[in-house]
Amino acid sequence: MCEGGCKGAAKGRPDMKPVYPRAASYPQYAGLVDRKNAQVDRQVFVSDAVYQAELQQIFARAWLFLAHESQIPNPGDFIRTSMGEDDVIVVRQRDKSVKAFLNSCPHRGNRVCMVDAGTKARGFICNYHGWSFGIDGALRGTDGKVYEKDQSFEKAQIGLTPVAQIDSYKGLIFATFDPDAPSLAEYLGPFTWYMDIMLDNDPEGTEFVGGAIKSEIDCNWKFPAENFVGDILHAFWTHQSGAQAILGGGVDLGSRYDELAFQASVYGHGIETNLDKVGNTRTLGYPELVDYVFDLSEKAKDRLGELRARAIGAVSSCTVFPNFSFLPGQNTFRVWHPRGPGKIELVVWTLVNKSAPEHIKEQYRKGVMMTFSPGGVFEMDDGENWEYSTRVNQGFVTRQQPLHYALGLESADLERDLPGHVHKGSLNDANQRLFYTRWAEFMEYDNWTDLQSGETAPPQKKAVEAAE
């Protein structure tokens, strides 16, 4: 309600420019991660105040996964998703670029898109008073003639709030609400070298098949994110029943574990992998898929080199900070959307190589359903662990108790020439410690210069900077 003098708006006209929130600094929350003692204060899983700070410091600033390019191939194709708790529409434009907007009408705020997805939309019309928006987010029209007669009404100024930046990496579209955030490439850093195991093992690239499955779990979002960033340890115990059902035996890391397995972390993103070639793929239960990945691994040696070619189907998992995770070999890709400190909405998709034969794509779709969907024999046993790891902290005394994140404190691998912070063995808390260190950096720093040069920054980069 500006009475004149505010930039960009004539007297009497409201300033309708997008507002991108500013970050602050919360050293008291950053202090909840104790690097020296390898401990995480349980408040981070239940405190409302910490959660609100996460929405501001992490979800309003980090590059967040939105969609795969293949989900919206044609102009007007769109999906609805979230960035943190913010409802967002992602739309393919006529010039083939992709735009994303807050799904909230600038009139009274109502949602303008009510559906999960659609094709060839010409725009979005708000159900409340009928304002309509183009697929570019601009206000196109208003219901009736009322606004046209109103001298002070200026349509051109009004539209759906766009994300501050949008970009894609090898088919995966990300966006951020922070105009000052570094480029997506800079945010991912050399972690892309590991993402390419899945995204670039074939010249024709990848696609999502079969849409999404969404479910709710009453847990803090960081439990699943830290689980995928580097907790293969749980697989042996939690997923014993699933492994027995599909493989007729327990999860097996094979005889070359000591030599091959490692964890790597860059800016809090992390991968743990065993390099056993097909351990993950095998759990989908279709022998043909195992053969397919063996062949793929051979062929991919030229593109990716021996080490990454071995990782395509291996026992492994990844999280891109903060809440986008995937499993090489099992090909499930997922986002853990925060819904308060004690709830998430989990969305899962299946990724395949575009060049894969149809029956292989179909086996991935069914294999992911059988393992990593709500009825899947692996996913089935994850949820309750995360729910109770979260819920017990309602206990005032319980939440004062320390948690142990100290597996592999002495395991830094200084010899292996791989991107990021590398640790020996995939059975290790190293990536999880770095995930929470990254979390603390986001709580502490109000600017990207500090954010990109903290402890989680890739070591080579730090060495270069120190020399300067």
Partner 1 sequence: MLDLLNIAKPFADMDTPVDAETERAVCRWLYAEARFLDAERYQDWLEGFIDPEIHYWMPDMETRRRDDPRGTFSYGEAAYFDDNLPELTIRVKRYNEPSAWADNPATRHAHLISNIEVNATDDPSLLAVCSAFTNVRNRNEADQDIIHGRREDVLRKVEGGFRLLRRRVFIVQNVLLSKNLNTFF
3-state helix, strand, coil in the chain (%, to 5): 35, 25, 45
* Rounded-to-integer distance, Cα 420 and Cα 404, Å: 24
User: By CB under 6 A, is residue 105 in contact with ligand FES?
Assistant: yes
Backbone dihedral angles phi then psi of residue 134, each to the nearest 5 degrees: -75, 175
Residue 105: contacted member of ligand FES, Fe ion, partner 1, none (CB under 5 to 8 Å, by partner type): ligand FES
CB 279 within 8 A of CB 252: yes
Give the number of residues in contact with partner 1, rule: CB under 8 A.
42
User: Which runs of E-coded beta strand occur in 305-378?
Assistant: 316-320, 324-327, 332-338, 344-353
Dist CA 258 CA 318 (whole Å): 20
Catalytic residue among 34, 87, 107, 129: 129
Do 416 and 422 form a contact (C-beta atoms < 8 A)? yes
50 binds partner 1 (CB under 8 A): no
Q: Does 69 bind Fe ion (CB under 5 A)?
A: no
Residue 288 CB-density burial (10 A; 0-12 exposed, 13-18 middle, 19+ buried): exposed
Should residue 207 be labelled a site residue for Fe ion when binding is judged by CB under 5 A? no
Choosing from 41, 382, 421, 429, which is the catalytic residue? 382
Contacts with Fe ion in 366-405 (CB under 5 A)?
382
Under rule CB under 8 A, which residues in 214-233 are in contact with partner 1?
Answer: 214-218
Residues 113-142 that bind ligand FES (CB under 6 A): 126, 128-131
Interacting span for ligand FES (CB under 6 A) from 9-17, 106-114, 233-241, 349-357: 106-114
Determine the Cα–Cα distance for residues 233 and 358; give it in Å rounded to an integer: 34
Tokens 């021996």 belong to 306
Q: Which does 374 bind (CB under 5 to 8 A by kind): partner 1, Fe ion, ligand FES, none?
A: partner 1
Our finding on whether 391 is near ligand FES (CB under 6 A) is no
For partner 1, the closer CB: 385 or 453: 385
As a whole number of angstroms, the distance between CA 25 and CA 12 comes to 36
Using rule CB under 8 A, residue 365 touches partner 1: yes
Minimal distance, residue 330 CB to Fe ion, in Å? 11
**Burial class for 415, CB neighbours closer than 10 Å (0-12, 13-18, 19+):** exposed
384 near partner 1, judged by CB under 8 A? yes
382 a catalytic residue:
yes
Judged by CB under 8 A, the residue of 28, 37, 52, 119 near partner 1 is 119
CA torsion through residues 216, 221, 223, 224, sign: positive
**Catalytic residue flag (residue 129):** yes
Distance of CA 77 to the CA centre of its chain: 22
Residue 108 near ligand FES by CB under 6 A:
yes
Nearer to partner 1, 38 or 105 (CB): 105
Q: How far is CA 27 from CA 24, 53, 62, 83, 442, in A?
A: 10, 11, 18, 24, 10
Q: Supply the minimum distance, in Å, between the C-beta of residue 125 and ligand FES.
A: 9
Report the C-alpha gap between 187 and 149 in whole angstroms.
Answer: 47
Q: Give me the least distance between CB of 331 and partner 1, in Å please.
A: 13
Q: What's the closest the beta carbon of residue 131 comes to ligand FES, in angstroms?
A: 4
Catalytic residue among 86, 231, 276, 429: 231
Residues that bind ligand FES (CB under 6 A): 105, 107-108, 110, 126, 128-131
Residues that bind partner 1 (CB under 8 A): 114-119, 210-218, 237-238, 240-242, 244-246, 285, 345, 350, 362, 365-366, 369-370, 373-375, 377, 379-381, 383-385, 387
Give the catalytic positions in this structure.
Answer: 129, 231, 234, 239, 382
